[in-house]
Structure 1
Amino acid sequence: MATRVDDDGRPMRTGTWVTASAHIITAVIGSGVLSLGWVAGPATLIIFSLVTLFTSTLLADAYRHPDPVTGQRNYTYMDAVRTHLGGFKVKFCGVAQYANLVGVTVGYTITASISMA
């Protein structure tokens, strides 16, 4: 069976709007958001979904450079920052990205341990 590839030789992506929506929903609905109540919970979900929409639109615009159709692809967030900003900002972005990952990991660990207790 021949593997289908994109214009850059990598395997073709198979995501759909359904899988993208599932990823966005799981990213927006944190473990504590729905426990905020019937008013604050949905309001928080709406706010976070708007932030997610805005940032995903920015990332989609930065995916190919310089042309959005035929430009070189940026496969990672760091590649997009390197292409558009360069220099020290790439290192700053990397530190911020890893600090965010550590914070999220600590948050989920604490939440999981409280839920298990």
Structure 2
Amino acid sequence: MLNVARGRVALGLAAFAAPRLTVKVMGLGKDSDAGRDYVTRMFAAREIALGAGYLLSRGHARRTWARLGLVVDGLDTVNGLRSRPGLPLWVSAGAVGIAGGTAALGAAKVTRDLVS
């Protein structure tokens, strides 16, 4: 989970600094779009907050951050599945694969915390 949290912070910082490049790499557009850049920075802020919250916390607070990350990743997975008809297959598959994989890691962490 530490690496997931570090990845969140890194992705968030990159997306915040270069939203146009982020959406281009993700296959979500090429041209400038102020609204899309704004929403990308909102996503970036969320990722930074989730990653930093986990990294800076300990004990019960860290378990809470893991649960919050699981909820967000689960919702991102559902959103990716629901967005499939309007996006190219490789974009949807990538988004669902990343969010779903991170959700699976989060679920394993939360489950382990609950039984410990």
Max radius of gyration: which structure? 1
Point out which structure has higher relative CO (alpha carbons under 8 A, 6+ apart). Answer: 2
Q: TM-score under structure 2 normalisation?
A: 0.38
The structure whose residues are more often helix, as a share, is 2
